[in-house]
Structure 1
Amino acid sequence: MPREWTLITGVVWAGIASAAVEGPGRNQFLHAARTNGPVVVDGRLDEDTWAKAPVFDGFVQRFPDAGKAPSERTELRVLHDDRNLYVAITSHDSEPALLNRNLGRRDSDPYSDRVKVLVDPTHDHRTAYVFTVNAGGVQSDGLYYDDRNYTTDWDGVWDAAVGSTDKGWVAELAIPLSLLRFPEAPVQTWGFSVRRDIARRNEELETVLNPRTSNAVVSRLGHLTGLENLRPQRAVELVPYLAARTLARPQFSDAARPWPRLMDPSMDLGLDFRMALTSNLALTGTLNPDFGQVEADELILNLSTFETFFPEKRTFFTQGMELFNQVGGEGMPQTLFYSRRIGLGTPILGAAKLTGTVAEGVEVGLLDAVVTGPWQRDADEARPDRNVSLYLTRPLHLGPNDALPTEPEVPMNYLAAVVRGKVGASSRVGGMVTMATPLVGGCSREDAALDEDKQPAPCLARGGNAAAVDFDLKTADGKYGLMGQLDGSQVVGGLPERTLRDGTVLRRGDTGFGGYVRAGKYGGEGFRWDVGYDFTSPRLDLNPSGFLRTQNEHAPRAALRYQRPNGLGPLKSYSANLSGGTRWTTDGRGLDRGSWINFNTVAQLPSFDYVGLETGANLGGWNVRELEGSGVPLENENMAFLALIVESNENRPVSAGGYVLAARHFQAGPVAPSWGWTADLYGTVRPHPALETRLELLLDRTTTAPRFIEDLGDNRFLLSPLLSDTLSLTLRQQWVVTPRLTLQAYAQLFTAYGTYGTYYEGMSDVRHSPIRFASLVPVEHENTDDFHDVGLNLNVVLRWEYRLGSTLYVVYTHGQQRLPVADGVRPPRTLMPHGLLAGAAQDALMLKWSWYWGA
């Protein structure tokens, strides 16, 4: 299965937004009373002030029967004082013994009986904070932005407690006003609503009618009044940390020499801070950030010519970053800011971001990060330097000199600035600028002519500037929309010139441009449609600070959808989507890069399980990236696939799901047709609310048409078809002692092998004429290209939030790769983890302590 295919799961399909539904409560007003005494957050509501608070119980169903009366009664009370907003939800239940109280760590948000508080304090109808607590006391938070997009990346320090009654359960929340941006005004009116999930019935309630069929969320919230004489809190939050770790690693960088091993102790000191500069502007920063508790990236086999996009997991770059996201959210083709460019190779010295509102309806964001660090010059691995030193380029880190990298650490400054302005009731326009600037001198042509391992640091830099304007325009009901982006780039620093995969030569100072647009009917029951067009010039380069999968293409597309989120007959929900598109180059040759078509459908059964089907094909065209850097197009492989998808109701103690896919690869010249397949299956077991075990199995067989092996010169190329098998087994184990004391384990065993078949020679000419598979000629060639990879990642994290916002981590990690196959020995064709235990391994134990102080 090509790695660039993305299967759409039933859960995602069923959540696609559709049309606005009018109903009672759309212009609902709730009242928050001022407290007449202290409030203790304990889940009991036994203070006199709660007894005098107004009670609202007019909840309506959001799902599965939007607008209908709920099966259980819910009572809402809201209070405030000068420092906090207090929310109490009493969830009555006729069968309290059946409440789902699943536990998890902070921000895990397990599926369970839970309540969510949505607050839009600026009342801009575009951004809302979400505070969630479940019946087991697990807290999580997130943020709606651009009215309908949701992210769990936002995080705040707030308090909540739950209590049980003989008729249900109670949630009590205290939300500090310092977390919320709101204007200075004697009387406030905020967007507001509360949702409740009744897990065993898969029922979702809300204080205001805001059904899943709506292509909007924040603009459809009710209103919270009674907020008088509130002053924005100019809070300061400091979170210093101290991390001590010991790393056991091989002494030699040669993977074939895993022994002996060295023990490297180290210590880091750092600080995270947040402060309100004005009532609408907040400054967040970090010095020497440490992300040792973050789970390792998934091990994968990427057989495509495209870079793999990995999600961001580091807290500084996940919190409060919604303003820096591209219009349309994830999946859009041109991203100016991709935070994983920062600090994965060279350590981050410091970073800061400024976010907020500078005028009514105008949001701004500014982020700056500096990466730099020492490295070993003329390192001698046979006689390692075990001295401990401090370096000005990394002054808050202490460790042995021989643990420093042997490659130059390129100091860089990353800058991203964005401004977005509201237009009308629910639209916006904006712009963004990003800069990745090398903080080193230039790379001369003489330096660039050296072997890659001898080039100085300036030649290793990849700098660039980029700018874009964007727009997200919607009708008042959110039913129709037009969104898009126009962007440009400039190459800065690095090599005097370099060649991209498609043969485009990129020189310092070169500029490129691109853009995308989407328009359609995004709301409404029944049929919806959208059309789109992407354009990238050959020299568009967003990757120094952003993510651009490929350049040099026109890519129009269209889709017709049929959506019934509120059900169809006996089905709880149903969707069907037909889409397709084509691509061709923008370099003046107008080369066809291929066409695609896709159909998927999914239904939610009366049991709330999902079943789905997806099929599609990639047809025709030329691959301009396969013959690496040559500029010679190679015929595309034609293929079609069919996938079956199942997702069981996650409310059950045992749930399972996944997909099975079969792919047909058609005749490719001398290579016969073949089948590939993928099975990605998971199972989750919850024998107790405090225990969860999840096991995921991925098995994949990929066959390819002849692909690039070697450039033989004179426009001649060596190619061979590839058969690869992959196995990935992932285990996640969670034990929750309390919601603030958790133990988590993650382990992934990954094996893959690839074997090449008959070798062929393909020939072009000085005009770089395309090469067809039918023209390939078999040749004799010794097979030294087969591979066998095995890897193991293990991560165990003990997390204790010993006081609100303050955390102690104990983290153990283990990473291991197989011992390389000896020269002259053909790698085994097996998914067994041969050579793993003999291979190089790294073991790390870290103790990290942080302390939260806020005023």
Structure 2
Amino acid sequence: MKTVGMEAVRQAGGLAVLLCSIVAEAAVEGPGRDQFLRAAAARGDIRTDGRLDEPAWAEAPVFDAFVQRFPTAGAAPSERTELRILYDSERVYIGVTARDSQPALVDRRLGRRDSTLTTDLVQLIIDSTHDHRTAYSFSLSAGGVQGDGLFYDDRNYTTDWDGVWDGATSHGAEGWVAEFSIPLSLLRFPDTSVQTWGFSVRRQIARLNEESESVDNPRTSNANVSRLGHLTGLEGLQSRSGVELVPYVATRGTMRPQFSDNALPYPRLMEPTLDVGLDLRAALTSELALNATFNPDFGQVEADELILNLSTFEAFFPEKRTFFTQGMELFQPVGGSLENVPQGLFYSRRIGLTTPILGAAKLTGTLTKGVEVGVLNALVTGPWQEQDEERPDRRWRLHSTRPLHLGPNSSLPGTPQPATNFLAAVVRGSVGANSRVGGSFAAATPLVGGCTEEEAALDEEDQPAECLARGGQGAAMDFDFKTADSEYGVLGQVDASRVSDGPPERTKADGTVLRRGSTGYGGYLRAGKFGGDGFRWDVSYDFSSPTLDLNATGFQQTQNVHSPYAWLHYTRPNGAGPFKGVEVNLGGGSNWTTDGRGVNRGSWFNFNAAVDLPSFDMVGVETGANLGGYDVRELDGTGIPLEREHSSFFVFFWETNGKRMLSLSGFAALGHHDRGPAPGAWGWGAEAALSLRPHPALETRLEVISDRTPFAPRFVENLGDQRFLLANLESNFLSLTLRQQWVLRPNLTLQGYAQLFSAYGVYGPFFEAASDVARTPIRISRMRPTEGRTDEDFYDVALNLNVVLRWEYRLGSTLFLVYSRSQQGLATPEGARVPATVLPRRLLSGPATDAVLLKWSYYWHA
């Protein structure tokens, strides 16, 4: 099977090279590239006040030939929009006059910076490197709320990128005005005497659900940046190799239980701490930027969502920490975001969640025309000491491994913190008009000695740092080739891994043993028609050898799998008949192991359809089935295949027009599960999210999610001699999340977050099943009923609170005041049966940790 896997990889590479040559030969100028807008040199000072009353604005050329993107693609806009562009040696200025025949109906609702707004707004898209793949985004809402982000890989968008720039709006009898002031030091651009940038402006009129743009850039396309128009007339611009420094001081007071035992919530300890740190940004050249951080603090970041994960797969959590969200688009895997591809080399959440970050730096930009590079290095290290919970150590000490942090010794971790260096590097080059090839490398290198077999045999709480460390390297080659119009394409990745450091060996969930020095390989391939109106299609193939392990630095849920699948789509984003939009998808696939056994890991099919109604509300349906197969990960790392149940489901989902004062979205799902030797059962799930905006400055969002799933026999205990205790499982969870936002001013916001989560699981009836040394698959029909037990049942309840006051008291400088609370329900008394309810039992009497953070930062640039 390894030979078959390598042949598939070689065929993928051959197909990539063939398409590369086709694309290079077919490279032509795409739609929109024949449009040129001209900027004028600013004469005199420009005040960023949203008024456009300086003489220079009257001298600037006016562009008003906007076209609709939605709802009537290519039509003339309902309202006139005028665009003017100025520049000087420091900044580029964009003035947009959004005329409106009903100015009283302009939607001026407020929101926090970078939030997704459904109000009237204007968005700039600037491809200053003119690589047709990457573009900066700047937006101003009619209420004056700023937003920014980044387009990457031509068609993808992220709000993770942030910049320090100025903008203002004003309102009058003929509409409203948005004025942007973008520092040249924020942009990367070539070192040439006359600049030509990719450029467009989009305008959103909320009450009409209308979007127009300065260039014809239809939503049916599988491209965005490569379809922009041109901005020219920028003469004599010099790269601004400036330096930006943002020092911070953070003081935190934490009140936590003295004992780690969940049954002992009191007494509590008060632990004050003090941190200082620094963020740095420097433009090394006109197209290369360095970002660094020392002792970063992310106390203002919202806590992760509480979930119930009963699978054998790691759950993916999105990155929220500023340093790891900004400028990271180049590190994203080809084909989508990290959570949507089977093998990702770099998952930033591996860094600093358990061991503090001492410092990190990243270098990103264009090395030469058409070649982008990114390098990130981070060092995690920190002090620890064994804790005597009966007599906490209240002494204060500075530690060399974390010199910019001060606090009592009782606040230190009680387990070893292995110092580790993380490195990630990527380079990607353009091919033809809008295609690329690239390579990447990532490594986690523990800065501790080796772990012996004797040390690895100890209980985990007794193991030294050498055994807790996880080291490894990963490397990949990727490609993304598209035809000149971006409708057809093929993309993929070929990767390999090597395990280093940590214990001498460890066992994966499917029984694969990884030893120091173990190597693995894998990859994925996507090909199809990804753009255009009407029918689209794509075929995919994922492959990973049993020993592929990218998780030292990346994210890889599973390995040991062949996974081909295909989708047929019918897409009408600009509407069909009475509908404003139509999307229909039909897909299916199968999975089997690559370890030579060819075990069927299951097959599936899915059908879903959604329409946008004339009211701009959306409704849809989805149905599908999992067609059995075998689970090779369930039985305690033995790799013995366990027959899976057949299941099917039906979902109805909806989303009302988000531009209304009250909007609602959600789904209701019903599924049937065979449950093996037990009678089949129905499960259900539902989610509803309600958003209320009673005032332009206020928004309340309530999310309710509940799920009740009956599982077929799950692993309970390894009885030895290839015998196992299994049981059906019925689980139920309830999540209530409340988000409240109050925007006092665009630069002063108060936001609150609260999540109440409860879950329970009940096992039974119980079964015994057996295999043999040949790992013969266990069939459901051969399981024997047996005596059960109740000590596997579980019940959990938790509450997370977070309140953040954010004040940007001057451009780029902020003050945060944060209160957070994390509370667990009191443990069920020993001998008592856990409650089978989602009601919050014994929550307020359980252990809680409260923290108050005051964080001040100051932005300085030269």
> Within the alignment, does 1:263 sit opposite 2:270 as a pair?
yes
Q: Give me the TM-score of the superposition, normalised by structure 1.
A: 0.97
Residues 563-613 of structure 1: CA distance to partner in whole angstroms, max 9, x if unpaired? 111111010010100011000000000000000101111000010000011
Output the CA distance in 2 between the equivalents of 1:443 and 1:818: 37
CA contact (8 A) 2:66 2:212 kept: yes
CA contact (8 A) 2:120 2:141 kept: yes
The amino acid that maps onto 1:366 is V
> Within the alignment, does 1:589 sit opposite 2:585 as a pair?
no
The amino acid that maps onto 1:468 is A
CA contact (8 A) 1:233 1:279 kept: yes
Output the CA distance in 2 between the equivalents of 1:582 and 1:449: 38
Output the CA distance in 2 between the equivalents of 1:23 and 1:167: 36
Displacement after TM superposition at 1:278 (Å): 1.2
Task: Name which of 433, 442, 453 aligns with 1:434.
Answer: 442
> Within the alignment, does 1:233 sit opposite 2:236 as a pair?
no
Displacement after TM superposition at 1:22 (Å): 11
**1:540-559 alignment, distance < 5 Å:** 540-559=548-567
Output the CA distance in 2 between the equivalents of 1:127 and 1:301: 37
Residues 496-538 of structure 1: CA distance to partner in whole angstroms, max 9, x if unpaired? 0011100111111000000000000111111111101000000
Task: Name which of 363, 369, 372 aligns with 2:381.
Answer: 372
Displacement after TM superposition at 1:446 (Å): 1.2
The amino acid that maps onto 1:551 is Q
Displacement after TM superposition at 1:26 (Å): 4.9
- Correspondence for 1:817: 824
Query: Residues 651 and 71 of structure 1: is their aligned pair in 2 closer, same or farther, counting only changes over 3 Å?
Result: same
The amino acid that maps onto 2:726 is L
CA contact (8 A) 2:28 2:484 kept: no
Residues 351-379 of structure 1: CA distance to partner in whole angstroms, max 9, x if unpaired? 000011111100000000000001113x2
- Correspondence for 1:658: 666
- Correspondence for 2:291: 284
- Correspondence for 1:339: 348
Displacement after TM superposition at 1:725 (Å): 1.0
The amino acid that maps onto 2:483 is T
**1:204-603 alignment, distance < 5 Å:** 204-330=211-337, 331-377=340-386, 379-603=387-611
Gapped regions of structure 1 (runs ≥ 5): 1-19
Output the CA distance in 2 between the equivalents of 1:39 and 1:782: 76
Output the CA distance in 1 between the equivalents of 2:198 and 2:135: 8
Residues 216-274 of structure 1: CA distance to partner in whole angstroms, max 9, x if unpaired? 10110000011000001101000000000100000111111110000000000000000
CA contact (8 A) 1:26 1:208 kept: no
> Within the alignment, does 1:687 sit opposite 2:694 as a pair?
yes
Displacement after TM superposition at 1:303 (Å): 1.0
- Correspondence for 1:90: 97
- Correspondence for 2:635: 627
> Within the alignment, does 1:758 sit opposite 2:765 as a pair?
yes
The amino acid that maps onto 1:380 is D
Displacement after TM superposition at 1:667 (Å): 4.7
CA contact (8 A) 2:675 2:713 kept: no
Output the CA distance in 2 between the equivalents of 1:454 and 1:124: 53
**SS of residue in 2 equivalent to 1:200:** helix
Output the CA distance in 2 between the equivalents of 1:726 and 1:663: 16
CA contact (8 A) 2:675 2:711 kept: no
CA contact (8 A) 1:21 1:210 kept: no
Displacement after TM superposition at 1:24 (Å): 8.4
- Correspondence for 1:723: 730
Task: Name which of 107, 119, 124 aligns with 2:131.
Answer: 124
- Correspondence for 2:22: none
CA contact (8 A) 2:30 2:484 kept: no
The amino acid that maps onto 1:586 is T
- Correspondence for 2:614: 606
Query: Residues 111 and 21 of structure 1: is their aligned pair in 2 closer, same or farther, counting only changes over 3 Å?
Result: farther
Percent of aligned pairs sharing the same letter: 65
Displacement after TM superposition at 1:300 (Å): 0.4
Output the CA distance in 2 between the equivalents of 1:450 and 1:47: 74
CA contact (8 A) 2:33 2:230 kept: no
Deviates more, 1:802-811 or 1:108-117: 108-117
Task: Name which of 56, 66, 76 aligns with 1:59.
Answer: 66
CA contact (8 A) 2:732 2:759 kept: yes
The amino acid that maps onto 2:559 is Q
The amino acid that maps onto 2:244 is E
- Correspondence for 1:798: 805
Displacement after TM superposition at 1:688 (Å): 0.4
The amino acid that maps onto 2:575 is G
Task: Name which of 103, 107, 112 aligns with 2:114.
Answer: 107
CA contact (8 A) 2:257 2:849 kept: yes
Output the CA distance in 1 between the equivalents of 2:299 and 2:548: 35
CA contact (8 A) 2:32 2:227 kept: no
Cα root mean square deviation, aligned: 1.2
Output the CA distance in 1 between the equivalents of 2:636 and 2:320: 32
The amino acid that maps onto 2:619 is V
Output the CA distance in 1 between the equivalents of 2:713 and 2:628: 15
Aligned residues: 834
Output the CA distance in 2 between the equivalents of 1:484 and 1:393: 41
Output the CA distance in 1 between the equivalents of 2:431 and 2:598: 38
**SS of residue in 1 equivalent to 2:712:** coil
Output the CA distance in 1 between the equivalents of 2:823 and 2:87: 53
The amino acid that maps onto 2:421 is N
Displacement after TM superposition at 1:828 (Å): 0.7
Residues 391-420 of structure 1: CA distance to partner in whole angstroms, max 9, x if unpaired? 000000000001111011111000000000
The amino acid that maps onto 1:359 is T
CA contact (8 A) 2:675 2:710 kept: no
Displacement after TM superposition at 1:21 (Å): 15
CA contact (8 A) 1:21 1:213 kept: no
Displacement after TM superposition at 1:620 (Å): 2.1
Q: Give me the TM-score of the superposition, normalised by structure 2.
A: 0.96
Output the CA distance in 2 between the equivalents of 1:614 and 1:106: 35
Residues 84-125 of structure 1: CA distance to partner in whole angstroms, max 9, x if unpaired? 010000001111111111101111132100000000111111
Task: Name which of 699, 719, 722 aligns with 2:706.
Answer: 699
**SS of residue in 1 equivalent to 2:499:** strand
- Correspondence for 1:829: 836
**SS of residue in 2 equivalent to 1:721:** strand
CA contact (8 A) 1:44 1:163 kept: yes
Output the CA distance in 2 between the equivalents of 1:432 and 1:172: 40
Displacement after TM superposition at 1:702 (Å): 0.9
Task: Name which of 627, 636, 654 aligns with 1:646.
Answer: 654
Deviates more, 1:807-816 or 1:178-187: 178-187
Residues 439-477 of structure 1: CA distance to partner in whole angstroms, max 9, x if unpaired? 100001111122221111100111100000000000000
Gapped regions of structure 2 (runs ≥ 5): 1-26
**1:131-146 alignment, distance < 5 Å:** 131-146=138-153
Output the CA distance in 2 between the equivalents of 1:189 and 1:630: 60
CA contact (8 A) 1:109 1:139 kept: no
The amino acid that maps onto 2:550 is L
Displacement after TM superposition at 1:23 (Å): 11
Query: Residues 768 and 178 of structure 1: is their aligned pair in 2 closer, same or farther, counting only changes over 3 Å?
Result: same
Output the CA distance in 1 between the equivalents of 2:521 and 2:28: 40
Displacement after TM superposition at 1:703 (Å): 0.7
Task: Name which of 201, 214, 238 aligns with 1:194.
Answer: 201
CA contact (8 A) 1:21 1:214 kept: no
Output the CA distance in 2 between the equivalents of 1:477 and 1:73: 29
